[in-house]
Structure 1
Amino acid sequence: MREAADTTKSAMVSVIGLDSDKVQQLCDAANQDVDEDNKVQIANYLCPGNYVVYGGVMGVEAVEAKAKSFKARMTVRLVVVGAFHTSFMEPAVSRLESALAAIEIRQPRIPVISNIDAQSHADPATIKKILARQVTSHVQWETTVKTLLAKGLKKSYELGPGKVIAGIVKRMDKKAEMENIGA
């Protein structure tokens, strides 16, 4: 993925305060002003009112410039090395597929929810396909959290620095209990 990221100048911006349909409209408007190498798309569906757009630098700049006219509360440029979870990562897929083919994945002992489709998958071959697809697929975190909450999630843990995931879960269910375990 790093090699794919190095082949193009890309950027990422979080759009705050719009629903996903409006963010898609914002992307469509920005894409009218840029060439193919600078197109943008929603890459992360984080939670209601917070969606991350990835793409070429000029496309992200167009999103930032147009966001207020779409009534976005704000945009936040994120520091990343590449347009992960977008078509910009297509060159990395075949190498990941080759690496996955060389390893054994066993059937999970507990359900693991994929953030591509917010479903649990147990078949190792399916898991390998999903892992390869993840490189270029939107992150469906919003739907994944809704699925976990519907399955009865009451308490969860966020590993590492920060409390981004805790904030997302709390926005979706104020009663959900999150504990942060810092690095």
Structure 2
Amino acid sequence: MQHVEELCKAATEEVGQDKAIRIANYLCNGNYAVSGSIEGCEAVEKLGKSFKARMTVRLSVAGAFHTSYMAPAAEKLQAALAATNIVEPRIPVISNVDAQPHSDPATIKAILAQQLTSPVQWETTVKTLLEKGLQNSYEVGPGAVIAGIFKRIDKTAQITNVKA
């Protein structure tokens, strides 16, 4: 993780703070997603090997999710959530912002808006779920990326890939 943080810092220094790049997802040890400006992403690709990155893969996504670039959307989401009735869930919601269970509707609303600008704590979330007793998981869709990450986090985790 330290190498990725240093890589993001170097890339940001190269392109300027207004085009910053940050870690957007802590997937599992050695696997992180970064997000930011196009120029920042290009700088990460260029500088990656010098920071011991095995590889960089550009994802086809529509925005710089989980970074400060999403602040305008977070404001709009906060307004929409303020007008939305959320009741206390029967099962606590594990937030990808802090990887903790939440049941309070006001807290859930706040965290839903925060997740747009906060990095995803995926590895910690999976560990929290497993500590809370998760025994079986399912990944639905054409790939098995989540299953692979689950196994890197905990080789004993039970996850089944269900192809669509």
**TM-score interval (norm. to shorter):** over 0.9
Q: Distance in 2 between matches of 1:160 and 1:108?
A: 26
Q: Flag the structure with more relative contact order, 1 or 2, with Cα contacts below 8 A and sequence separation at least 6.
A: 1
Give the residue type in structure 1 aligned to 2:157. Answer: A
Alignment of 1:67 with 2:52, yes or no, is no
Equivalent position amino acid for 1:134 in 2: Q
Match of 2:92 in 1: 111
Aligned to 2:25, which of 44, 65, 90?
44
Give the letter for the 1:23 counterpart: V
CA distance in 2, matches of 1:152, 1:22: 33
Tell me by how many angstroms 1:66 deviates.
Answer: 1.0
Q: Deviations over 1:12-71 (max 9, x none)?
A: xxxxxxxx1110011111111112332100001111110001011111111111111111
The 5-angstrom pairing of residues 1-183 of structure 1 reads: 20-183=1-164
Higher percent of residues as strand: 1
Partner Cα distance (1:166, 1:62) in 2: 30
- Report percent identity of matched pairs: 65
TM-score (norm 2): 0.95
Q: Name the TM-score, length of structure 1 as normaliser.
A: 0.86
Question: Which residue type is aligned with residue 36 of structure 1?
Answer: Q
Compute the displacement of 1:137 (Å): 0.7
Secondary structure at the counterpart of residue 179 of structure 1: strand
Report the Cα distance in structure 1 between the residues aligned to 2:118 and 2:100, rounded to whole angstroms.
15
CA distance in 1, matches of 2:68, 2:147: 29
Is there any run of 5+ residues in structure 2 with no aligned partner, and where? none
Q: Tell me, what secondary structure is at the counterpart of 1:144?
A: helix
Q: Is the 8 A contact 2:3 2:52 kept in 1?
A: no
Which residue identity is paired with 2:123?
E
State the shift of 1:113 in Å: 0.8
Distance in 2, Cα, partners of 1:32 & 1:131: 31
What SS is found at the alignment partner of 1:78? coil
4+ residue runs over 3 A deviation = none
Q: How many residues align?
A: 164
Ranges in structure 1 where 5+ consecutive residues have no aligned partner: 1-19
SS, match of residue 176 in structure 1: coil
SS in 1 for 2:27: strand
Q: Displacement, 1:73?
A: 0.8
1:126-169 residue CA offsets vs partner (Å, 9 max, x unmatched):
00000011111111101101111222322111122311111110
State the 1:76 CA deviation. Answer: 0.6
